[in-house]
Amino acid sequence: LSFFFQHPPNITIPTLPWLLIFVSELLLYLAWLLAQSHGWRPVYRTVFPERLPADDKLPAIDIFICTADPNKEPSVEVMNTVISAMALDYPPEKLHVYVSDDAGSDATLRCTKEAWNFARYWVPFCRKYGLVTACPDVYFSSSEDGFKGSSEFKAERKKMEVI
């Protein structure tokens, strides 16, 4: 900005590039100012579970899990995602989970069948004890248990680790 207030005899550089730079700086400052506006008055949302419709009035949900190459995306990680999706707190008859494998790998097909067999035991276990972490890999790698004193829970958890 000081460039424009210099005396004309001292100016040896063309004015147009400096003017373009100045205008671009003003536009970037305006964009930054607008981007910061969300912090001036943040929006807080609250959840009202009592306003949710009954289970029979909830819409059906389709979950698509896409994978391409079992070498780049380990099948175990994909199946943890599938099991986590199956364990969502939603009516089971309205929840549809699809696995799309672009490579058409036999390993993914076998892992999907094994994940389905494991989910037959895992999903009721999660619902029975109200587990927040539905991903088996994350749950078994953590050391936290919600029901530390319950011998029934410990026995069923040991059984889940074996399956």
Rg of the chain on CA atoms, in Å: 28
Measured CA to CA, the distance from residue 70 to residue 107 in angstroms comes to 7
Annotated ligand binding at 102? The verdict is yes
Q: What is the largest CA-CA distance in the chain?
A: 91
Q: How far is CA 44 from CA 7, 38, 39, 47, 105, in A?
A: 53, 12, 12, 10, 45
The predicted pLDDT at position 11 comes to 58
Output 136-141 pairs: Cβ under 8 A, ≥24 positions apart: 136/80, 136/83, 136/160, 137/76, 137/77, 137/80, 138/80
Per-residue pLDDT tens over the stretch 93-138: 999 999 998 878 888 889 989 999 999 988 888 888 888 888 888 8
Residue 85: Cβ-neighbour burial (10 angstroms; 0-12, 13-18, 19+): buried
Average pLDDT on 26-43 reads 88
The predicted pLDDT at position 28 comes to 96
Annotated ligand binding at 89? The verdict is no
First CA to last CA distance, the chain: 71
Average pLDDT on 26-55 reads 88
Q: How far is CA 131 from CA 48, 98, 134, 143, in A?
A: 21, 23, 6, 14
Residue 116 DSSP code: H
Per-residue pLDDT tens over the stretch 41-100: 888 889 898 898 888 899 999 999 999 888 888 888 999 999 999 988 888 899 999 999
Residue type, 38: H
The predicted pLDDT at position 32 comes to 93
The predicted pLDDT at position 2 comes to 67
Annotated ligand binding at 72? The verdict is yes
List alpha helices for 71-105, DSSP H: 75-86
Question: Does residue 147 have a pLDDT over 60?
Answer: no
